[in-house]
Amino acid sequence: MKNWKIGIATVAATLSLAMSAAIAQAQEATAPAAAQTPVADSQQQPKEHKFEKALQYYLEYNPDKTAEDFEKLRPWLKPFSDVELMADMMADPRTLMEWMNQISEPEAVYLMMKCSQEPVMWDTWMNGMTDTNKLFGAMGRVLVNPDAYVNWVVGWFDTNLYKSMAGMMDPRKLVRWGEHGMRSEFYSPMYAFLKPDYYPERSDWLFDPQSFQPMLNIFAIPQIN
């Protein structure tokens, strides 16, 4: 009986030391990453939407801002067109909260509404959601990645996470929403379908068989040589 208790105590102590070491190592490895923005290499991801018109929309909506201002926002828009980047957001609560803080800005919401109506975005979503390798790879980044579980444990002890959460409730953000809410341009994506020039390009996409080819490829029978 005594040996059984000693064995249990030894195992518990070993697990406790191992967990402490893992958490300490993860804090050193992930602390700098909390401040980083998501990055997507356009050369490595040729199918991903590059938000070709987003800069144009951004400058039209904000004449007093520059392309440099847009580049600060661009990385936070990329996860909407890349399921793997979205998985990276989910793998760390610090990055997830900062992403939510950034995309809750009225300018980001406006750009997402505008870009989501582009056929090139529809192509991106169609390719991304039918690419099983990419989907399973994204799931693996979260579900079977030990670092993701460690991040979700140690992340809650990082003050940057709470700064991002506080940013979503910042009174100054509420003021910005009030200011943008009084601008008619902010609502333009909602009634864009009333304009005659809205339909030709989008109709071409809807009636083009190639637009839905990625979906059909899922059910294709592989050829055996």
C-alpha distances in angstroms, 214 versus 123, 136, 164? 9, 16, 37
Amino acid at 188: S
Q: What is the DSSP letter of 42?
A: T
**How far is the C-alpha of 51 from the C-alpha of 217, rounded, in Å?**
26
- Tell me, what's the pLDDT at 33? 40
**How far is the C-alpha of 116 from the C-alpha of 85, rounded, in Å?**
18
Positive or negative torsion for Cα 93, 94, 99, 101: positive
The answer as to whether 82 is a domain residue is: yes
Residues 6+ apart with CB under 8 A from 23: 150, 153, 154
Amino acid at 99: W
For the stretch 93-108, pLDDT in tens is 999 999 999 999 999 9
Q: Say what the pTM is.
A: 0.70
Amino acid at 92: D
Do 84 and 170 lie in one domain? The reply is: yes
Do 41 and 23 lie in one domain? The reply is: no
The answer as to whether 10 is a domain residue is: yes
Do 2 and 61 lie in one domain? The reply is: no
The answer as to whether 131 is a domain residue is: yes
Rg (C-alpha) for the chain, rounded Å, is 23
Do 19 and 65 lie in one domain? The reply is: no
Structure tokens at 108: 């980001």
Do 87 and 1 lie in one domain? The reply is: no
Do 97 and 78 lie in one domain? The reply is: yes
What would the mean pLDDT of 136-142 be, rounded to a whole number?
83
Do 141 and 40 lie in one domain? The reply is: yes
The answer as to whether 224 is a domain residue is: no
Do 1 and 88 lie in one domain? The reply is: no
* Number of domains the chain is built from: 2
Do 7 and 77 lie in one domain? The reply is: no
- H/E segment holding residue 5: helix 2-30
Residues 6+ apart with CB under 8 A from 203: none
Do 14 and 73 lie in one domain? The reply is: no
DSSP H helical segments within 31-186, as ranges?
Answer: 54-61, 67-77, 83-90, 93-103, 106-115, 119-129, 132-143, 146-154, 159-168, 171-181
Do 139 and 63 lie in one domain? The reply is: yes
For the stretch 50-107, pLDDT in tens is 567 888 899 999 999 999 999 899 889 888 888 888 888 899 999 999 999 999 999 9
The answer as to whether 223 is a domain residue is: no
**Longest CA–CA separation in the chain, Å:** 85
For the stretch 16-47, pLDDT in tens is 444 444 334 434 433 334 434 554 443 344 44
Q: What is the DSSP letter of 48?
A: S
- What is the extent of the structural domain holding 13? 1-30
Do 117 and 23 lie in one domain? The reply is: no
The answer as to whether 225 is a domain residue is: no
Residues 6+ apart with CB under 8 A from 135: 83, 129
The answer as to whether 183 is a domain residue is: yes
The answer as to whether 222 is a domain residue is: no
81 Rama class: left (phi>0) / alpha (psi -120 to 50) / beta = alpha
